[in-house]
Amino acid sequence: MIYKEKKVLLRNGKTVVLKSPSEDDWKAMTDYIRCVASETPYILRAPEECNDTEESEKAFIRRYNESELECMIAVFDGETVVGNCNLNVKNRKKVRHRAELGIGLCKSHYRLGIGTTLITELSIIARNEGCTQFELQYVDGNYRAKGLYEKCGFVEVGRMPNGVRFDDGTYADDVNMRKIL
Ligand SMILES: CC(C)(COP(=O)(O)OP(=O)(O)OC[C@H]1O[C@@H](n2cnc3c(N)ncnc32)[C@H](O)[C@@H]1OP(=O)(O)O)[C@@H](O)C(=O)NCCC(=O)NCCS
């Protein structure tokens, strides 16, 4: 699914562009994922797992752009990708009313309202796809994500105890949230 490009004015007066990345953006996308993975422990991918190749990243982008049930929106600050989110609508008939989202930003762009804007845009797409509920997971302790999701109307519906194990051997719950669309 292709998201129609949109310019967004941020709280700091700067502008970013939201758009579906094209295959030509593969390098900017891999730089971005390395940035997020090195800056936060709260995404599932560890920095040492950021080893996408040109071929695999292009295939990943193509999959989203050609899919009828999946959409990816990248946040461009000039040529640099500073954020990304994706929407995955479930495929089977009995669960076709459910969509899941994932989101991440580079630290340089936290707290400027981008997370809120991305969730608003994804909610519109999910509703247009006929979905009636939106779902996500975050790692317990990620107070930024919790704050964003609660502000956007998500409510905790359960948790997987010890869903995540960090390098130092400590665990955190995986928290499930839901929002009615
Ligand atoms: C979580 C994340 C996407 C939030 O995005 P963001 O663009 O900073 O969020 P917004 O600026 O739209 O803020 C939305 C709300 O979240 C809450 N929030 C965000 N940061 C917060 C903080 N440091 N402390 C308390 N509340 C916070 C606030 O309620 C805020 O609304 P307000 O600014 O109007 O008060 C971003 O911090 C991020 O990418 N983190 C690293 C990756 C990650 O954790 N992804 C989520 C995995 S589940």
Domain range list for the chain: 6-180
Ligand 1 atom, smallest distance to 116 CA:
12
CA of 54 to the centre of ligand 1 (A): 30
Write down the pLDDT at residue 100.
98
DSSP secondary structure, 80-123, as one string? EEEEEEEEEE--SGGGTTEEEEEEEE-GGGTTSSHHHHHHHHHH
What would the pLDDT profile of 26-57 be if each residue is shown by its tens digit? Answer: 999 999 999 999 999 999 999 999 999 999 99
Q: Is 149 in the pocket of ligand 1 (CB under 6 A)?
A: no
Provide the pLDDT confidence category of residue 136 given band limits of 50, 70 and 90.
very high
Average pLDDT over residues 11-19: 97
Q: For ligand 1, atom 7, which residue shows the shortest CA distance?
A: 115
Q: Is 71 in the pocket of ligand 1 (CB under 6 A)?
A: no
Place of tokens 């999946």: 70
Q: What percent of the chain has pLDDT over 70?
A: 100
Write down the pLDDT at residue 123.
97
Q: Is 104 in the pocket of ligand 1 (CB under 6 A)?
A: yes
Q: What percent of the chain has pLDDT over 90?
A: 100
Q: Pairing mode, if any, of strands 133-139 and 155-165?
A: unpaired
Ligand 1 atom, smallest distance to 151 CA:
29
Beta-bridge mates of residue 103: 85
CATH number for region 6-180: 3.40.630.30
Write down the pLDDT at residue 36.
97
Cα–Cα nearest to 54, from 92, 28, 86: 28
Write down the pLDDT at residue 19.
98
